[in-house]
Structure 1
């Protein structure tokens, strides 16, 4: 039982809408009660709320009734609540954090405890990329027959609106945005691969564990081709590549190296990377970070 007050981390509070009637705001206000309910129902003892934490969920470090350490995650409400639990259940600890319990009503997850302060980002770039590639490869499995996950075609369709908000970027961005829009329409239909993908893979979402050296967390699962997941890995820590000498050549080498090491078509990986870089750049500019948005578009241009 918890005796200390449960306070959501400031990062989570700051990222939530100020509208008191929004579902996410009401969820945030109810979080202390929701956490306490899970602690009581699952016989957990709260150690502390993890900070700074994420922008769309609360993570609490807890102990189970037998003293085993675990992590309690409560995600913000959304139509994909439950998809993370379904993906973790499918992987069953293979390459990813193990799901111990789940509550369908609240979306709460009880997860095995990993070393939250140690991710692949703590490693040198070459070693981090190697370990990340090995981890994401394990996640690419056949989805269950009756799965709830969206497809890449559906996800790309949702991105159409975001790509249409590129007005705040420079005129030079126009051709790249047009190419990304064309790729959005054509890429999903041009592949017959149907793997369960992490959907939001990056080095920061691979943590050190006891059961295995590195395990993935926080999936946004989607069904489609492997190049989509791998494109996010090409983009990971892109600022380091941009800051170095010979950046354009280094970007293309990264695409070739990752594609060849995981037996993914180089051209498909290049196209998905360009699409994801432009999409991310437009989104960053739309929320006010124009500098980062322009940097992502520059990265895309080198492809």
Structure 2
């Protein structure tokens, strides 16, 4: 997710990154000692060795702790800003979230590449910057981190705040008192799904691509890229919470692990439409990957694992 995602991701797993090649994976051959040509095996394409790499699992601890801190900080920000007596809680919340994400990216990027979000890990695997196996490990620990962050927040807030603010989690609807009894207010599932898809795609297109693109990442620098990612996320949070102007809707999640933690801890209505916070980002990631396949090759400067989704499917079918 950060500018050094390419270097950092593979340096900890012991896998040396090779330059991108326009030749399909099924036609590529790996040169070993003695210049003997051997075909790339299915295990190598899937990166199954990552499951048995101690370095990969140790690096994933950065993802676990980073996601835990992310959930604790963002959910605290959500609760505190709406508790404040201000006319612009959305603006303040968005600014604080942008700052928090930037700081966490700078802290975690040197360890694991700085994903702290299943969206980044999944899109990196689709594009081919990391293996499917490494992405699976990262997403798994990110979900655990989200749960730990929600548990930590629950331990420090009282039951009233937990109930009134849904532990700062991702919600489509809430149950509120009405003139004739409790009523459900919030956003339609279809609208929320479209917001997740659009916001996730914009997030990847407008910021994460700078981290994936080795040329831009090197030119802009680590700190600037992390700052841009935080700024774009903050803007998308502000847009998604403002454009709907609907009470009960917490805005676009764009991070399934962040939404999962409070849902497990708080239970109840946080599970209503929870699938949207997974399906929407997943579709957005696929749309972004298709974009990377459409643009001209001379404008594609992401060096990486090259086990991207299409080439992996092609290799499996041959």
Same fold (TM over 0.5): no
- Interval containing the TM-score (normalised by the shorter chain): under 0.3
User: TM-score, normalised to structure 2's length?
Assistant: 0.24
Structure richer in helix, relative to its length: 2
Structure richer in strand, relative to its length: 1
User: TM-score, normalised to structure 1's length?
Assistant: 0.25
